[in-house]
């Protein structure tokens, strides 16, 4: 690995090198703190861990709390540990971890949820920090980098996130130079967006286009400390494929072949966006064995299976916000073959990776997994039962609303403690809506694929019940839909029939009896 001195090419900054423990003095209760990172990749580790150790050692739980702003989730050894030590007051805009989710749902952590592309720009506008100090500022930014150039350009590591926006409103900056892994220098394409009315278009016409520079500009006078880090990213654990996810992937790949034959997709498809999880892995894994070549990816997160797609010779180029590989084998595999992959991947800031403009221009095919969707194609990605936050909206809405094809995939049913198909993922009415019926084109489960383009709501409902519902729930959903249609149409209010005294009966039955299989629709 390179030495710290070789990574810091602006030599005047070497005098600011300190230990992580020496930075603790700068942090005060109630501060606004911004981190680099996007998913468990490219986030600071040495300083957050040192702060957590300090709180734990000195029994400061609940006495040293921060408002934490990061591009998305980061490693559990940092933010989730902070949550366990009651170090987080507010958290935007997306998180993962048992302790932080518990803190949010118990009301100890105030989390806000936002489309990620909008979070990036609104952070720079000072919207999230306007009430703390009246200036819309972040008190301290902690940024992980691979290197610092002679003119104080920051070469980031495995993600871009919202570093540009954080630095633009940060009073003070702490840099972590990660010498514990190979440098990512040269992989990034950085553009610092101007505020309206001076914002310029993002002239990206293919996934491989570069429109910026490899470095994030940084004011050296704001840097108060530089810390050497040797911690590697914990990464996103690889999610194994199962029979259900492989069935969903097969339905999607068949659909792609059909669309190519119909002339609605080119032979190499269009730039792909894929979410995270077992279904996403199965889709990408299927593509790695499928008939489509010269593929491109324009997405926000690259998982392990994207390396399979590269190795298959089918993927030409990938644009992302984050290289979100698993701690093992993902990152080691990447580092062992870094020269093979480096020129085929570009990492972009969140404000560009998820911007509606290039997504719509490129004609992306967006594929994401919700908690559930209803018979009219409203999807819930965030709140179980309409109230319990899981992780957050993420960037799925950025892509789904602007994609050429908007696809959501889910198992048709999930198990409970007492019933192997106790939860249906197709419901009469979603208790929380993140993606409306206006945003989605195709819904997929292992049961089948519903192509909803051009259908009115009642036709959509019948197609979703026919194609996507689990056999255990198909007659139950059909009975509800027939009843709602009859009642609402008779009253002349039947464009999208719902019975509000019954539409959440499945969810209520789950809470009371451990299954969504209602005996009847009586009230």
pLDDT reported for residue 133 = 58
pLDDT reported for residue 277 = 84
Does residue 497 form part of some domain?
A: no
Residues 294 and 213 reside in one and the same domain: no
Residues 307 and 160 reside in one and the same domain: no
Does residue 35 form part of some domain?
A: yes
238-267 burial code (b ≥16 CB/10 A, e <16): bbebeebbbbbbbbbbebbeebbeeeebee
Compute the distance between CA of residue 173 and CA of residue 428 in angstroms, rounded to an integer.
Answer: 50
Compute the distance between CA of residue 288 and CA of residue 295 in angstroms, rounded to an integer.
Answer: 10
Compute the distance between CA of residue 145 and CA of residue 184 in angstroms, rounded to an integer.
Answer: 9
Of the candidates 362, 514, 361, 356, the one whose C-alpha atom is nearest the C-alpha of residue 439 is 356
Residues 280 and 218 reside in one and the same domain: no
Of the candidates 255, 244, 242, 241, the one whose C-alpha atom is nearest the C-alpha of residue 443 is 255
Q: Which residue has the tokens 């980031």?
A: 156
Does residue 259 form part of some domain?
A: yes
Cis peptide before 510 (omega within 30 of 0): no
Does residue 361 form part of some domain?
A: yes
Could you tell me the CA-to-CA distances from 425 to 2, 308, 415 in Å, in that order? 50, 30, 11
Angle, helix 278-288 to helix 243-261, in steps of 10 degrees: 50
Which residues on adjacent β-strands are paired with residue 408? 368, 443
Are 450 and 467 a contacting pair, CB within 8 Å?
Answer: yes
Run of H or E including 216: strand 216-217
Do you know the residue count of the chain? Answer: 523
3-state secondary structure 167-191: HHHEEEEEEEEECCCCCCCCCECEC
Residues 87 and 157 reside in one and the same domain: yes
Residues 411 and 269 reside in one and the same domain: yes
Please list the pLDDT of the chain residue by residue as tens digits (523 residues): 689 999 999 999 999 999 999 999 999 999 999 999 999 999 999 999 999 999 999 999 999 999 999 999 999 999 999 999 999 999 999 999 999 999 999 999 999 999 999 999 999 999 999 875 556 799 999 999 999 999 999 999 999 999 999 999 999 999 999 999 999 999 999 999 999 999 999 999 999 999 999 999 999 999 999 999 999 998 877 777 889 999 999 999 999 999 999 999 999 999 999 988 889 989 999 999 999 999 999 999 999 999 999 999 999 999 999 999 999 999 999 999 999 999 999 999 999 999 999 999 999 999 999 999 999 999 999 999 999 999 999 999 999 999 999 999 999 999 999 999 999 999 999 999 999 999 999 999 999 999 999 999 999 999 999 999 999 999 999 999 999 999 999 999 999 999 999 999 999 999 999 999 999 999 8
pTM for this prediction: 0.95
Of the candidates 83, 23, 21, the one whose C-alpha atom is nearest the C-alpha of residue 53 is 21
Residues 264 and 161 reside in one and the same domain: no
pLDDT reported for residue 1 = 65
Q: Could you give phi then psi for residue 9, rounded to 5 degrees?
A: -85, -15
Does residue 64 form part of some domain?
A: yes
Residues 47 and 176 reside in one and the same domain: yes
Residues 146 and 260 reside in one and the same domain: no
Domain that holds residue 17: 4-229
Residues with a known catalytic role: 300
Residues 315 and 413 reside in one and the same domain: yes
Which CATH number does the domain housing residue 55 bear? 3.40.1080.10
Tokens read off for 402: 């602007």
Name 47's Cβ contacts closer than 8 Å, sequence gap at least 6: 20, 23, 142, 174, 176, 227
Tokens read off for 262: 């119909």
Q: Which residue has the tokens 């073959």?
A: 337
Does residue 213 form part of some domain?
A: yes
3-state secondary structure 10-38: CHHHHHHEECCHHHHHHCCCCCEEEECCC
- Domain boundary pick from 199, 229, 259: 229
Residues 280 and 155 reside in one and the same domain: no
pLDDT reported for residue 235 = 84
pLDDT reported for residue 134 = 58
Name 232's Cβ contacts closer than 8 Å, sequence gap at least 6: 180, 181, 327, 331
Does residue 220 form part of some domain?
A: yes
The count of domains in the chain is: 2
3-state secondary structure 463-499: HHHHHHCCCCCHHHHHHHHHHHHHHHHHCCCCCCCCC
Q: Which DSSP letter does residue 444 get? A: E
Residues 175 and 267 reside in one and the same domain: no
Does residue 511 form part of some domain?
A: no
Are 245 and 252 a contacting pair, CB within 8 Å?
Answer: no
pLDDT reported for residue 131 = 76
Residues 299 and 447 reside in one and the same domain: yes
């Amino acid at each position: 690995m390179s030495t710290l001195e070789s990574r810091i090419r602006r030599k005047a900054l070497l005098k600011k090198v300190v230990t992580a423990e020496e930075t603790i003095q700068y942090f005060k209760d109630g501060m606004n703190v911004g981190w680099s990172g996007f998913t468990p990749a490219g986030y600071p580790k040495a300083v957050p861990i040192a702060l957590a150790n300090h709180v734990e050692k000195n029994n400061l739980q609940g006495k040293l709390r921060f408002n934490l702003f990061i591009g998305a989730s980061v490693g559990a050894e940092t933010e989730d540990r902070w949550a366990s030590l009651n170090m987080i007051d507010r958290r935007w805009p997306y998180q993962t971890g048992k302790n932080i989710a518990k803190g949010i749902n118990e009301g100890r952590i105030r989390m806000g949820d936002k489309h990620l592309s909008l979070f990036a720009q609104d952070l720079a506008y000072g919207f999230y920090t306007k009430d703390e100090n009246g200036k819309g500022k972040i008190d301290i930014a902690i940024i992980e980098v691979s290197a610092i150039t002679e003119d104080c350009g920051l070469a980031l590591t495995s993600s871009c996130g919202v570093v540009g926006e954080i630095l633009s409103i940060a009073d003070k900056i702490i840099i972590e130079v990660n010498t514990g892994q190979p440098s990512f220098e040269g992989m990034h394409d950085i553009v610092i967006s101007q505020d309206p009315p001076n914002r310029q278009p993002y002239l990206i016409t293919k996934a491989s286009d570069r429109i910026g520079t490899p470095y994030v500009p940084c004011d050296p006078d704001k840097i108060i400390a530089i810390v050497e880090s040797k911690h590697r990213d914990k990464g996103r654990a690889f999610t194994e494929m199962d029979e259900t996810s492989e069935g969903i992937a097969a339905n999607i790949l068949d659909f792609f072949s059909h669309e190519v034959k119909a002339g609605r997709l080119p032979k190499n498809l269009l730039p792909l966006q894929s979410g995270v999880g077992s279904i996403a892995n199965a889709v990408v894994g299927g593509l790695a064995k499928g008939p489509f070549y010269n593929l491109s990816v324009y997405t926000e997160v690259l998982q392990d299976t994207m390396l399979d797609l590269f190795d298959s010779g089918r993927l030409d180029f990938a644009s992302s916000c984050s290289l979100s590989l698993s701690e093992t084998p993902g990152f080691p595999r990447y580092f062992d073959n870094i020269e093979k992959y480096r020129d085929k991947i570009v990492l972009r800031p969140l404000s560009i990776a998820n911007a509606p403009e290039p997504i719509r221009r490129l004609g992306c095919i967006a594929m994401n997994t919700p908690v559930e969707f209803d018979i009219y194609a409203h999807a819930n990605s965030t709140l179980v039962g309409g109230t319990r936050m899981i992780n957050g909206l993420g960037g799925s809405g950025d892509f789904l609303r602007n994609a050429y094809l908007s696809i959501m995939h889910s198992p048709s049913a999930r198990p409970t403690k007492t019933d192997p198909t106790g939860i249906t993922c197709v419901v009469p009415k979603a208790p929380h809506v993140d993606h409306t019926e206006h945003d989605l084109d195709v819904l997929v489960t292992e049961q089948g694929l519903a192509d909803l383009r051009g259908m009115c709501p009642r036709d959509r409902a019948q197609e979703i019940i026919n194609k996507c519902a689990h056999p255990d729930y198909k007659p139950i959903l059909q009975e509800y839909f027939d009843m709602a249609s009859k009642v609402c149409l008779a009253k002349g209010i039947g464009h999208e029939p719902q019975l509000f005294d019954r539409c959440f009966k499945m969810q209520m039955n789950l809470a009371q009896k451990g299954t969504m299989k209602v005996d009847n629709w009586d009230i």
